[in-house]
Amino acid sequence: MAGAVCHNRYLNPTAQIIVLDAGGQYCHLIARKVRDLGVYAEVRASETAAVELAGAHGIIISGGPSSVYDSGSPTVDPAIFAVGAPVLGICYGQQLMAHILGGEVRKGVKGEYGLATLELEDTADPMFGGLGGKQQIWMNHRDAVGALPEGFRVTGRTDSCAVAAIAAPGRGLYGLQFHPEVVHTTRGQEFLANFVFRVCQCRKDWDPRHRVPAIEQEIRDTARNRSVFFFVSGGVDSSVAFALCARALGAGRVRGVYVDTGLMREGETDFVGRMANLTVEHAEDQFLGALAGVTDPEQKRHIIGEEFVRVQERIVESRHLMDEQWILGQGTIYPDTIESGGTAKAAVIKTHHNRVAGIQKLIAAGRIVEPLKSFYKDEVREVGRELGLPSELLDRHPFPGPGLAIRCLCSEFDAPVRATADGWVIPVNSVGVLGDARSYAPVLAIEALDHVRATELTNRLSGMNRVVAAVESKAPLAAMQIRACSLTPERIAKLRQADALVRRLSHEANYDRCVWQFPVILIPLGTAEAPESVVLRPVDSVDGMTAQSVPMDDALLRAMCGELLKLEGICGVFYDLTHKPPGTIEWE
């Protein structure tokens, strides 16, 4: 009965590593990465009393949006540094550890977001063993440790951060200013493995392959005797979640509904319509009507989420179904929750459509099932493969629930492009994630397709979270302006056309297989004759939590520009050079 023992352990394991949540975007990801190493880890509130952590083999303090000197900023019980279990502080966690133990934290002159190079002094210490030299790491901070607490030494630095790693090995205390838990820190898993196995001496007690039976059990527990209405978008998450519900409850108890919001890409409704067990609900006028005149991204996201709830209510009513017999299924994944501010101390980066008030109410009433809510995109794909779903479906690029609405930027004002010493400021705001907090700031355009320069600029300039390259245009930038506009069916149609064109060209060049996602964004920038511009945003990612802007072959880029500029009303083509952080993958 070895399998049964494992299964029980999956449902009832004891955590060897406890991750204390200081509100970081990647807090839950730290626990996942430790579990990927085969060691069970759990997240607890940062203030959890040291006595409650007595059995842990190791403690990790997460990052967070606050500054240690902010009033009410998250803290930890100082006694955790003396319970005997080693402690690793990551980002805010390092800053907090230094602050509590008598060191000093300072606001950096510059921020450090995204790509950075770490110089690690190779030491004999088990935490850093085998990890010397220069390494690609991922940063997301403005504050930094200025003075060390007694007994600590600096073990790593970057160009802009003199204290990128610290250690007091005798006391089992370590700090990293960068994020070992994100994939863009190339050897991040080795840092975590060193901490977990060599410093904390954990043993393997966890096998992530047992998740499918556990998810199915959870679905049955949530649904009880009720059936499920599943909102399916044709994307990876909702398709896998839908398949899990059908397996757990039997296909007869799960009904898939695809809503055509009028905000979908070209051909999408046809693609989804071919999937089995689905009904298509047309609601184009409803969604576009509710969005008329709206310019603010958070407002767009809230309206779209609430309209989904309206659709569900309408279906339930029109079919004379009883509330007690049906619950709603959604393909929510963990990044949706955390970016929507879904933990006690995390900042709202952007509210996902499946986390609006109407949905929260249904969650509170126990009327929502979300089988994948604690998983990341790469895990969802793995689960899908275990279920035998086709790769044609699983390897689709992610596409946001609110659809083209959040790729069609709006403006309340007419405003000119402004020249500065570093480039042109385009006065249209996009969302970013700076030091784990939300930012909403204008875009800087430069001439060169230069990623290194883009990182230098977003680190140095405050009030800026995104840099684009001006690739080709019908008019000089100085002659372009942002014009006041909202979401209209015409603008959505223009974006749909541009998106279809980019998708076709990147598919023909096999470029779509080299990138994780490739948003195409419409911004109201141009001249009277050609009032819009297109931004290309190809990125590389694994879980969507961090992303790297990736280059494109020049011939393909020129071909795209040529075709896009032939579209009526398109003035310019831009290329987004921004990593995540500081920018988010989507612009809104």
Regarding 435 and contact with ligand GLN (CB under 6 A), the answer is yes
Span from 40-48, 60-68, 228-236, 349-357 in contact with ligand GLN (CB under 6 A): 60-68
Angstrom distance (rounded) from CA 562 to CA 472: 9
C-beta of 427: minimal distance to ligand GLN in Å?
25
The site map against ligand GLN for 19-48 (x = CB under 6 A) is: -----x------------------------
Span from 139-147, 230-238, 371-379, 392-400 in contact with ligand GLN (CB under 6 A): 139-147
Residue closer to ligand GLN, measured from CB, 104 or 221: 104
CA atoms within 13 A on the CB side of 301: 24
- Residue 54's Cβ-count burial label (10 Å; 0-12, 13-18, 19+) is exposed
With CB under 6 A as the contact rule, the residue among 46, 135, 140, 330 that binds ligand GLN is 140
Residue closer to ligand GLN, measured from CB, 29 or 535: 29
Angle between helices 377-386 and 211-223 (to 10 degrees): 90
With CB under 6 A as the contact rule, the residue among 10, 40, 81, 92 that binds ligand GLN is 92
Regarding 143 and contact with ligand GLN (CB under 6 A), the answer is yes
Span from 44-52, 134-142, 416-424, 499-507 in contact with ligand GLN (CB under 6 A): 134-142
Q: Which residues pair with 135 in a beta bridge?
A: 118
C-beta of 434: minimal distance to ligand GLN in Å?
7
C-beta of 140: minimal distance to ligand GLN in Å?
4
User: Residues 217, 14, 370, 36: is their CA dihedral positive or negative?
Assistant: negative
Angstrom distance (rounded) from CA 393 to CA 403: 18
> Do residues 216 and 244 touch, judged by C-beta distance below 8 A?
yes
Residue closer to ligand GLN, measured from CB, 24 or 531: 24
423: tokens are 């480039």
Is the link from the previous residue into 65 a cis peptide, with omega within 30 of 0?
Answer: no
Span from 140-148, 228-236, 249-257, 277-285 in contact with ligand GLN (CB under 6 A): 140-148
Residue closer to ligand GLN, measured from CB, 63 or 384: 63
Angstrom distance (rounded) from CA 42 to CA 330: 24
With CB under 6 A as the contact rule, the residue among 27, 43, 58, 65 that binds ligand GLN is 65
C-beta of 182: minimal distance to ligand GLN in Å?
11
Output phi, psi for 88, to 5 deg: -120, 125
Span from 11-19, 61-69, 157-165, 327-335 in contact with ligand GLN (CB under 6 A): 61-69
Neighbours of 194 (CB within 10 A): 21
With CB under 6 A as the contact rule, the residue among 63, 86, 188, 524 that binds ligand GLN is 63
Angstrom distance (rounded) from CA 564 to CA 367: 45
Regarding 67 and contact with ligand GLN (CB under 6 A), the answer is yes
244: tokens are 């899990």
Residues designated catalytic:
91, 179, 181
Q: Which residues pair with 583 in a beta bridge?
A: 432
Residue closer to ligand GLN, measured from CB, 177 or 506: 177
Residue closer to ligand GLN, measured from CB, 334 or 518: 334
The set of residues, in sequence order, having a beta carbon less than 8 Å from that of 511 and lying 6+ positions away, is 505, 518, 538, 552, 553, 556
Neighbours of 197 (CB within 10 A): 17
DSSP codes of every residue in 77-145: -GGGGGSSS-EEEETHHHHHHHHHTT-EEEEEEEEEEEEEEEEE---SSTTTTT--EEEEEEEEEEEEE
- Residue 159's Cβ-count burial label (10 Å; 0-12, 13-18, 19+) is middle
Element (H, E) at 393: helix 391-394
Angstrom distance (rounded) from CA 295 to CA 487: 7
Residue closer to ligand GLN, measured from CB, 98 or 202: 98
Span from 63-71, 117-125, 252-260, 366-374 in contact with ligand GLN (CB under 6 A): 63-71
With CB under 6 A as the contact rule, the residue among 28, 35, 142, 537 that binds ligand GLN is 142
Regarding 178 and contact with ligand GLN (CB under 6 A), the answer is no
Span from 11-19, 40-48, 135-143, 284-292 in contact with ligand GLN (CB under 6 A): 135-143
Residue closer to ligand GLN, measured from CB, 63 or 538: 63
**Residue whose token pair is 């689960």:** 383
C-beta of 335: minimal distance to ligand GLN in Å?
16
C-beta of 125: minimal distance to ligand GLN in Å?
23
C-beta of 302: minimal distance to ligand GLN in Å?
26
C-beta of 191: minimal distance to ligand GLN in Å?
16
Give me the amino acid identity at 508. E
C-beta of 376: minimal distance to ligand GLN in Å?
18
With CB under 6 A as the contact rule, the residue among 64, 103, 180, 341 that binds ligand GLN is 64
Angstrom distance (rounded) from CA 62 to CA 102: 19
C-beta of 87: minimal distance to ligand GLN in Å?
16
Angstrom distance (rounded) from CA 581 to CA 429: 16
Regarding 436 and contact with ligand GLN (CB under 6 A), the answer is yes
Residue among 583, 350, 585 nearest 458 (CA): 583
Angstrom distance (rounded) from CA 522 to CA 494: 8
CA atoms within 13 A on the CB side of 251: 4
- Residue 375's Cβ-count burial label (10 Å; 0-12, 13-18, 19+) is buried
Angstrom distance (rounded) from CA 304 to CA 405: 9
User: Residues 275, 281, 285, 291: is their CA dihedral positive or negative?
Assistant: negative
Binding residues for ligand GLN, how many (CB under 6 A)? 14
C-beta of 142: minimal distance to ligand GLN in Å?
4
The site map against ligand GLN for 471-500 (x = CB under 6 A) is: ------------------------------
Span from 136-144, 181-189, 291-299, 553-561 in contact with ligand GLN (CB under 6 A): 136-144
- 3-state SS, residue 551: coil
Contact footprint for ligand GLN (CB under 6 A)? 24, 63-67, 91-92, 140-143, 435-436
